[in-house]
Structure 1
Amino acid sequence: MSAPRPAWMARLQQALEHPDPEYFDRFQPPEDGGRESAVLMLFGPSEHGGEEVVLTERAHHLRSHPGQVSFPGGSLEAGEGPTAAALREAHEEVGIPPETVDVVAELPPLFLSPSAHVVTPVLGWWPVPTPFASVDAGEVHRAERVRVDHLLDASIRFTTVHPMGYEGPAFEVDGLYVWGFTAMLFSRVMQLAGLEQPWDPGIRRPLPERFHPRGPSSGRRGTTPYQEGRR
């Protein structure tokens, strides 16, 4: 049976109609733009009640952001819009059929200055989820549907502290360490939707060493878009 969109998605759309949602305004792209990409924030019904969200974990051997958790997504191809790109990438990465996704909205684009990427989050509802998994193990280590209520549980939320100075919200759930851009975007969307639960940002944990930058750029502050958060 096809599940209807949850009510909070309508609240989120209404919140985004306000002239200045603080988070999105802070990351407004510059006039000269940047490299365009999109991510799919795909939610679907949970058999336990409430909703689940699709998250992927990048392959651990990759030179760029190994093992980091993200929403499916990638760069726009020539002549492609953000929604088309997000749906295509989700299909290529984890096999989600684009025709099964109910596209709710394109959120305001966010500028990640270290990488000069302009990322458009695309909000989607998956009324009848189908089995999915990593299509290319060389790129995606695992793909999971994670319960939203688990991510919002204060007991698994904390502030992660990067050795190069970044601080931001993080979650550790179902063997996934969610931080950086993905954690910030999810947190802000939940706030605007009226779903966020009280949590203690004063609980601080150092970022695990496996996520520290590698290679010749590792000595530079702000070398990865996942570190963007404070200016």
Structure 2
Amino acid sequence: MQIPGFRRAAVLVPILQGPGGPELLLTVRSSRLRSHAGQIAFPGGRLEGGEDDVAAAIRETREEVGLVVGRDQVLGRLSDHPSPAGYVATPVVALLDWSAPDELAPDPAEVAEAFTVPLAELAVVTPTSRVGQLQAYRRRIYSYLWRDRDIWGFTGNVVHDLLGALYGRGAVDGRDPFAP
């Protein structure tokens, strides 16, 4: 997706395969950030000097939460989404073996908290939605209320696409991420 004046960004959508089943890793953005402070987000940011979306998502994830991800763990991409901050971001989905959440090292300058959501729990949440306008683009904005957390906006839309890919329209890039 190209929008005049918007810059390119990427987020990592980390699916952690642990003993209790697959979980989605999310962050709460630091209150010190200029944009989207305190909001729930995926690790990610703008593309830098010659990076592709996968490289940017992997780099930003390492910088923000200390999680090392290899290109071989990437399953594919979801549809691009524009953000009110002036970016068009590509969600990059990765499947990671996971047994030690205490190995995360969130950067307090960017991340107030990192947490996981079991995909099985998120899949049964009925989202709410509204129609929003971003420049000339009308779009539906989804919100998933999970426990006391409101996963909405850009992140809610990516979650909506992910759940549709995993449970509704087939797997990301045609692969079942939970098959052995």
TM-score scaled by length of structure 2:
0.76
* Distance change in 2, residues 1:33/1:176 (3 Å): same
**1:169 maps onto 2:139 in alignment:** no
The corresponding residue for 2:165 is: 192
Residue 87 of structure 1 is aligned with which of 58, 63, 73? Answer: 58
Residue 13 of structure 2 is aligned with which of 41, 54, 57? Answer: 41
**How is 1:7-46 mapped onto 2 (pairs within 5 angstroms)?**
28-30=1-3, 32=4, 34-46=6-18
CA shift, 1:150, in A, is 1.5
CA shift, 1:62, in A, is 2.9
**How is 1:79-228 mapped onto 2 (pairs within 5 angstroms)?**
79-99=50-70, 102-112=73-83, 114-131=84-101, 132-154=103-125, 157-159=126-128, 168-195=141-168
TM-score scaled by length of structure 1:
0.61
Matched residue SS, 1:126? strand
For the pair shown, which has the larger CA radius of gyration, 1 or 2?
A: 1
Structure 2 residue identity aligned to 1:56: T
CA shift, 1:48, in A, is 2.3
**Structure 1: gaps (5+ residues):** 1-27, 197-231
Structure-1 separation of matches of 2:44 and 2:71: 17
Q: How much identity, in percent, do the aligned residues show?
A: 32
**Structure 2: gaps (5+ residues):** 134-138, 170-180
CA shift, 1:95, in A, is 0.6
* Distance change in 2, residues 1:29/1:130 (3 Å): farther
Asked if the contact 1:100–1:128 (Cα under 8 Å) also holds between the matched residues in 2, the reply is no
Name the one with the larger strand percent.
2
Matched residue SS, 2:159? helix
Structure-1 separation of matches of 2:80 and 2:5: 10
Task: Single out whichever of 71-80 and 98-107 deviates more from structure 2.
Answer: 98-107
* Distance change in 2, residues 1:81/1:130 (3 Å): farther
Task: Single out whichever of 141-150 and 60-69 deviates more from structure 2.
Answer: 60-69
Asked if the contact 1:133–1:142 (Cα under 8 Å) also holds between the matched residues in 2, the reply is no
Asked if the contact 1:43–1:126 (Cα under 8 Å) also holds between the matched residues in 2, the reply is yes
CA shift, 1:149, in A, is 1.4
Asked if the contact 1:29–1:111 (Cα under 8 Å) also holds between the matched residues in 2, the reply is no
The corresponding residue for 1:216 is: none
* Distance change in 2, residues 1:151/1:74 (3 Å): same
Give the paired residue count.
163
The corresponding residue for 1:3 is: none
Structure-1 separation of matches of 2:40 and 2:149: 7
Task: Single out whichever of 182-191 and 133-142 deviates more from structure 2.
Answer: 133-142
Structure-2 separation of matches of 1:129 and 1:33: 42
Following superposition, which runs of at least 4 residues in structure 1 exceed 6 angstroms of deviation?
none
